[in-house]
Amino acid sequence: MAEIDARLREDVHLLGELLGDTIRAQHGEAFLDKIERIRKGAKTARRGSAAGAEQLASTLNGLAEDELLPVARAFNQFLNLANIAEQYHRVRRLAPGEPEPFEARVLPELLERLLADGHDAEALARQLGRLDIELVLTAHPTEVARRTLIQKYDAIAAQLAAQDHADLSPRERQQGRERLRRLIAEAWHTEEIRRSRPTPVDEAKWGFAVIEHSLWQAVPAFLRGVDAALRAVTGLRLPLQAAPVRFASWMGGDRDGNPNVTSKVTREVLLLARWMAADLYLRDVDELAAGLSMQQASEELRLQVGVHPEPYRSVLKLLRERLRATRAWAQAALEADIPPGPEVLHDNRELLGPLELCYQSLHACGMGVIADGALLDCLRRAATFGLFLVRLDIRQDAARHAAALDEITDYLGLGRYAEWDEDTRVAFLMRELDNRRPLLPSQYRPSADTAEVLATCRVVAAAPAASLGSYVISMAGAPSDVLAVQLLLKEAGLQRPMRVAPLFETLDDLDNAGPAIDRLLGLPGYRARLHGPQEVMIGYSDSAKDAGTTAAAWAQYRAQEALVDICRRHDVELLLFHGRGGTVGRGGGPAHAAILSQPPGSVAGRFRTTEQGEMIRFKFGLPDIAEQNLNLYLAAVLEATLLPPPVPRPEWRDLMDRLAADGLDAYRSVVREHPQFVAYFRQATPEQELARLPLGSRPAKRGQGGVESLRAIPWIFAWTQTRLMLPAWLGWESALGNALQRGDQALLERMRDDWPFFRTRIDMLEMVLAKADAEIAALYDQHLVEPALQPLGAHLRDLLSQACAAVLGLTGQSQLLGHSPLTLESISVRNTYLDPLHLLQVELLARSRQSGNQSGGPLEQALLVSVAGIAAGLRNTG
């Protein structure tokens, strides 16, 4: 087994020791000894010791009622502290002779490779400056840590960085240790679990906090690195206004199945974003005004300010006044519908113009070294975040639009829209889109649901174009779904084009995506309203829940291929929006590899993807970590654009068709067709209890029903808690097993070697299988599942074993992740702290169910803490 870096081990040991001191101070030495017995028992049990397993079980079984919560909290906090140490280790100071991490090398090495391959330096610089990558932050409820705790965790990471200096004096080192001790005590004495669900506005504020505390620093640092890499390889600079990566958000705009997101909420979030942007720029401008005290200025700047002893401060003072007016108006508009006055900033040019004027003047006067400091950072932020901080997407289910139009056509005496076929719907929508008169008379009084749809459209129409991203239609399946939104927006008074993106998310919808978009682009007049790329969103979560990851991954790939071909034939630019989650079961996985595995032509300088739940914190919560991940995105999109992967060979396609068909049959035979499956799922996992966890503002279900009614996130989250990880692998055991039995081993190996799509799928599958644990899953069955359903659990664990064997058979390894010993060791270390939480959770679930799932009290609190701890230990939970 590979050894974890000694410095990481030291940090984990230090944080654990300080946590132990904190626990001892509150609960005493005897309680801390009990925690240590549990930890050691788990460690030896993992090594196969029967005595260790017995010690672990007996200590946990002997816990008094009032010890359940503190024990759960102890292991939860240790896993969070291990995460902090591991995260900091990725960006720690390099020792002499230590190589740069991959994330820092990836872009310079790619640029050198592209230049060596014959790409022209100027064309390369132009392509880099024109990249359009948009990361869409979403509030999917997999972030279990409270915002106040996240801030304390960030402070602990910052203190680890402050300690990471060999030349600290003993006094400085001791002061740093005491600061860590205080921070860990603060975290320990803070409740992990929210008492109530966050509102959509709370979620939006959480997203803004990630920008304020991390991305605001990370973006200019990242772009400095891009500029330096480009200059070193090509001698050219990144343009001032280049913003290859921007940010959008669904927080406060995603109303699909969430009745808490209303038109009023969306308007409030748009104004809060505007307030936050103005406030952040004010801080920057105050700092610039303090520093830019010099007198020498260009003629252009002098013409603007006249005779002034401090011309730069004069320019910045005017900008500061307008930013203050913008912030004050946004604050006032939250309380009343007040139109912005002339002094309020409306266009990003009004922000960029004064900053650029100062920048060019400083360069012209030989003060470029000053210009390229804080002023350049502010310019980069203004280009990336603009006046609105993030572009807010609106998302709604296609059925809500259809219901609104059904009510409208019925009121107008035109018949029932819901009963019309697709041709009739399209003909009606096209006529009304071309008609100059309003569709609705002034006396029309819609139902509450229709009124809310129309009110949302009015908010969109009233908002500045730059404050909004796309209007995403969930469960889209036909051209009429897109036209319906365009008509409702027109009726609300929208005078400008807005991207309307159908989201294809079931297996059938993905297969139909190409024909639907082909017909849409062929409609007369549609292209005239397009004004830019045709955006299409590919749903990973629901397609995987519908068909399993084998069939879903291939359907997603084929849909993208078809869309690329269709848009090329129609001479329309395509923008694919990838609705990925944090887990393999929801399309997640390492972003760099995932982008490079997309079909050729699908990443043509543009890439849009969701960043969901706890992955936002893990990837963007600390500035240095955020910078690394932005580097990975940029390099991957540039490489996929200029060095696309190969077109899959016919024999690869044929085999992938067979794998998908076998995977689909195997998955649905369990999830949809096994008569005991739903009952087993409800008993074996904490699915019902998760619904009570106040994670996000959105309900866990879309409506009443079985597994099909569950959202993809609680579906994945529940199986992750038990370590069966079923949604991420079910179907692959049949697909790969059958292929190996048919003698397709050599072809599978060639596909893995030469086809990034297939290699990435197998790598992600192997990773999730390494985290799965049949013995842990069996414990849940033994204590929670009625005897009549237990054979199904045994069958599923047997299928898990088959999936592991198939992957090992394909990769030729004796152990999963044998090629990545450090990852394997990281999982192994975490298991020492996860195992007690799983055992504790099983006991807590049993007690909770026996007591009738009563809400509140230490029992439920301990159960929810165990959920949070397991989520922290496994990282990509939902």
Query: Could you report the per-residue pLDDT of 228-266, keeping only the tens digit for each?
Result: 999 999 999 999 999 999 999 999 999 988 899 999 999
SS3 254: strand
Provide CATH 1.20.1440.90 ranges for the chain. 274-386
Domain 395-579, second-level architecture? Alpha-Beta Barrel (3.20)
The neighbour count for residue 572, using CB atoms within 10 Å, is 16
Overall average pLDDT of the 529-535 stretch: 91
pLDDT digits (tens, 9 = 90+) for 357-411: 999 999 999 999 999 999 999 999 999 999 999 999 999 999 999 999 999 999 9
545 is catalytic: yes
Sorted by sequence, the CB contacts under 8 Å of residue 803 that are 6+ apart come out as: 729, 730, 732, 733, 736, 765, 769
Q: Among candidates 776, 800, 798, which has minimal Cα distance to 873?
A: 776
Instruction: Check residue 693 and give its pLDDT.
Output: 67
For 673, list phi and psi in degrees, rounded to 5. Answer: -105, -20
Instruction: Check residue 745 and give its pLDDT.
Output: 96
Residue 652 reports pLDDT greater than 90: yes
Sorted by sequence, the CB contacts under 8 Å of residue 467 that are 6+ apart come out as: 270, 273, 274, 387, 388, 391, 392
Cα separation, 657 vs 857, whole angstroms? 52
Q: What is the dihedral of CA 115, 119, 120, 126, to 10 degrees?
A: -100
Q: Among candidates 324, 281, 318, which has minimal Cα distance to 301?
A: 318
Instruction: Check residue 712 and give its pLDDT.
Output: 58
Which residues partner with 504 through β-bridges? 538
Which residue's structure tokens are 């955006």? 535
**Can you spell out the DSSP letters for 766-789?**
HHHHHH--HHHHHHHHHHHS-GGG
Which residue's structure tokens are 């103005």? 278
* Residue 19 in tokens: 């946590």
Q: Which helix (H) or strand (E) holds 708?
A: none
Residue 144 reports pLDDT greater than 60: no
Which residue's structure tokens are 């880099």? 128
Q: Measured between alpha carbons, how far is residue 241 from residues 41, 244, 245, 348, 736 in Å?
A: 58, 9, 12, 11, 49
Sorted by sequence, the CB contacts under 8 Å of residue 77 that are 6+ apart come out as: 19, 184, 187, 188, 192
Q: Among candidates 838, 851, 853, 849, which has minimal Cα distance to 79?
A: 838
* Residue 300 in tokens: 């252009």
43 is catalytic: no
User: What amino acid occupies position 291?
Assistant: G
Overall average pLDDT of the 496-505 stretch: 94
pLDDT digits (tens, 9 = 90+) for 694-707: 665 555 555 555 56
Judge whether 777 and 722 are in contact, CB under 8 Å. yes
Catalytic member of 34, 152, 205, 545:
545
Cα angle 520, 522, 523 (rounded to 5 degrees) comes to 70
Sorted by sequence, the CB contacts under 8 Å of residue 699 that are 6+ apart come out as: 257, 258, 259
Provide CATH 3.20.20 ranges for the chain. 395-579
The fold for domain 274-386 equals de novo design (two linked rop proteins) (1.20.1440)
pLDDT digits (tens, 9 = 90+) for 351-371: 999 999 999 999 999 999 999
Sorted by sequence, the CB contacts under 8 Å of residue 318 that are 6+ apart come out as: 354
Q: Among candidates 615, 643, 644, which has minimal Cα distance to 629?
A: 615
Judge whether 482 and 521 are in contact, CB under 8 Å. no
Catalytic member of 140, 401, 771, 838:
140
Q: Among candidates 42, 67, 185, 29, which has minimal Cα distance to 862?
A: 67
